[in-house]
Amino acid sequence: MKRPADPARWTIGLVGYGEVGRILAEDLRARGVGNVVAYDIKQGGPDEAPLREHAARHGVRLAGSHAELAAQSDLVISAVTASQAVPVAEACAPVLRSGAWFVDFNSASPGAKIKAGEIVAAAGGRYVEGAVMTSIPPYRIRVPLLLGGPHAAALAPLLDGLGFAAKAGPAKLGVASATKMCRSVMIKGLEAMVIESFTAARAYGVEDAVLASLAETFPGIDWEKQGAYFFQRVIQHGRRRAEEMREVAQTVREAGLEPWSAAGTAERQAWVADLADRGLFGDRAAARKDWRADADRILSATKKS
């Protein structure tokens, strides 16, 4: 079947129908893309109902498997957890249409991206790594997106036509991913450090002095507001962030360094996720404006343990 020249007439398949997949689905449909299909491994399980409700509300068709989605898609966007980047490529590749695009949004190491790219290329697909360079929700589909691989330059204007803010990066696979992952050492590391520093400061009753000192050293940052935001992001998405940071640690290893910082960040993110899973923070999706209350909950939990 010949692929329509206009990307808005493509069938776009979203593998992963969590926060990212739903945002992309909403924005693609709002921009007039008529055929959006999605698949998520939660289908068929106890968490399926919200997926079906969202899909029905936004005119998104749900496929029954990776293969069913890939077989009908002109463009596959993989937005799953980092550990699933290669398995998703393996599941989709055998049934990809000849010349179909496969965009890997996952926060995986350069080595994983290269492997996934080889799998898709061997099946006749066009693999492009997509490094999402900041948090998606504030920007939605317009989030800064760095593309990499030999097909990146050809795909960038097509994605822009769909509403993305894509920029073609290096033609060598893994470089765009390395850019994102090295950035994550800092960004996710800051989240973990703020939670550790602010919670410990709260335990000693010196949080106001610590924030005042930080404000003097970094006057451009509102540490009260930034602290609340970092607590919120980790409480809401710590599990996914921890998995990403394990891939970041692998990225650092692939560079020949021991990932002490990245590995520690992964552990802190996972630890907060464990507390959230136990209900320590109540509604984890609620807007969190008071990091002190969350720090007190953490301190209460550590005393009990």
* Residue 39 dihedral angles phi and psi, to the nearest 5°: -145, 140
Same domain, 119 and 234: no
CATH code where residue 297 lies: 1.10.1040.10
Q: Looking at 103-117, 121-135, 220-234, 275-289, which range is the least confident one?
A: 275-289
Same domain, 227 and 261: yes
- The answer to the question of residue 2 being in a domain is no
> Chain-centre distance of CA 13, in angstroms?
17
Same domain, 13 and 106: yes
Is the pLDDT reported for residue 1 higher than 70? no
Kindly state the average pLDDT of the residues 164-171. Answer: 96
- The answer to the question of residue 1 being in a domain is no
Local confidence band at 135 (pLDDT 50, 70, 90 cut-offs): confident
Asked if residue 181 lies in contact with residue 109, where contact means CB atoms within 8 angstroms, the answer is yes
List % helix, strand, coil for the chain (3-state, nearest 5). 60, 10, 30
Kindly state the average pLDDT of the residues 264-270. Answer: 98
Range of the domain at 296: 178-304
Same domain, 198 and 117: no
Per cent of the chain over pLDDT 90 is 92
Same domain, 156 and 83: yes
> Based on the number of CB atoms within 10 Å of its own CB, is 53 exposed (0-12), middle (13-18) or buried (19 or more)?
exposed
The pLDDT tens digits for 47-74 are 999 999 999 999 999 999 999 999 999 9
Q: How many domains does the chain divide into? A: 2
Same domain, 246 and 297: yes
- The answer to the question of residue 283 being in a domain is yes
